[in-house]
């Protein structure tokens, strides 16, 4: 039952299923006010869905997405970090972000461009 509830919460907040982190990845903490929230729009693949029965025009569905972005110093260099796309209102994400004491990012020390945000705080909202 807990797994079903967790899957439902992930689907509601747009949290993607995560693979386990590699053992050599490190943690980085940033302050929430050092982060910004960016918004974007995605067009969902609805190529098999028609707008109506009497037309051949495909139905187009768009969904608003939000991203967390921040810059942080790793090994003496400033790196840009961006979360995966989240299906959540950008303003709500910004408020949830500001309620946190700090934001955790896991990264590959050899390639900080390979990183993942800890989005577990979204499960509590």
pLDDT at 8: 52
Instruction: Check residue 49 and give its pLDDT.
Output: 58
pLDDT of 107 higher than 90: yes
CB 12 within 8 A of CB 86: no
Q: How far apart are CA 117 and CA 108, in angstroms?
A: 12
The answer to whether 9 and 1 are in contact (CB under 8 A) is: no
Task: Say which range, 3-12, 22-31, 58-67, has the weakest mean pLDDT.
Answer: 3-12
- 19 confidence band (pLDDT: 50, 70, 90): confident
Look at residue 100 and tell me whether its pLDDT is greater than 90: yes
Query: What is the pLDDT, as a whole number, of residue 26?
Result: 94
């Amino acid at each position: 039952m807990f797994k079903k509830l967790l899957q439902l919460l992930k689907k509601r907040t747009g949290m993607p299923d995560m693979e386990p982190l590699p053992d050599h990845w490190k943690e980085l903490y940033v302050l929430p006010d050092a982060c910004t929230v960016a918004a974007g729009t995605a067009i969902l693949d609805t190529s098999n869905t028609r707008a109506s029965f009497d037309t051949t025009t495909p139905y187009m569905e768009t969904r608003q997405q939000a991203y967390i972005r921040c810059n942080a110093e790793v090994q003496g260099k400033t790196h840009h970090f961006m979360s995966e796309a989240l299906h959540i209102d950008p303003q709500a994400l910004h408020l949830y972000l500001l309620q946190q004491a700090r934001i955790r990012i896991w990264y590959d020390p050899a390639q900080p461009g390979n990183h993942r945000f800890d989005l577990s705080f979204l499960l509590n909202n």
